[in-house]
Amino acid sequence: MNASKLRRQSKRILRAAKYERLAYLRSLPIQQDTVFYESFAGNGVLCNPEAIFRYLLDHPDFKHLRHVWAIKDPQAIRRFKAEFRDHPRVRFVSCDGSSYWRALSTSRVLFNNATFPPAFGKRESQLYVNTWHGTPLKRMGFDIPDGAVESANTLRNFLMADYLLA
């Protein structure tokens, strides 16, 4: 087998393993008291998901909830850890890691102000609230070159969302 063919085969095997892992995680029980947040593809604790998180964290009626933030930016992770070190019900996961996919697959409530990755599929017992960050008055979606291709995941996310807040 030549090197090019071997690389293609290796990529296929790795992709298959990833999707097998995601299928397994989607079979785990939903964590009823867990809320998952992601803002701007993990750039930090920001925007509408942040406001909702802070409200739920401080409100006495929601003291039973556990909160998971998806963060990819190392500086945002440091700030997050410093600010919430005394909150045992708050943790973060690194975007696209195993912990990220486990939390995304098993949290009861999901908040995002943009989109989850294309591999994400909302489970029937999950509640997905998309708090879209922008305004539809700008040039986006089908208005931009290759808009249909670029908009596919956004449309998928909007169709999966139980609530779309703007």
Q: What is the pLDDT of residues 5-46, one digit of tens each?
A: 999 999 999 999 999 999 999 999 999 999 999 999 999 999
pLDDT at 136: 54
What pLDDT does 111 receive?
98
CB atoms within 10 A of CB 12: 10
Tell me the whole-structure pTM to 2 decimals.
Answer: 0.89
33 or 2: which carries more pLDDT confidence? 33
Q: What is the pLDDT of residue 152?
A: 82
> 3-state DSSP: the chain helix, strand, coil percent, rounded to 5?
45, 20, 35
Do 62 and 56 meet the contact criterion of CB atoms below 8 Å apart?
yes
pLDDT digits (tens, 9 = 90+) for 65-117: 999 999 999 999 999 999 999 999 999 999 989 999 999 999 999 999 999 99
pLDDT value at position 26?
95
Helix (H) or strand (E) holding 91, with range, is strand 90-94
> How far apart are the two ends of the chain, measured CA to CA in Å?
53
pLDDT in tens, 103-150: 999 999 999 999 999 999 999 999 999 998 865 555 555 566 666 667
Q: Where are the alpha helices (DSSP H) in 85-124?
A: 98-106
pLDDT > 90 in the chain, percent: 77
pLDDT at 137: 52
Tokens (6 digits) for 20: 């097998």
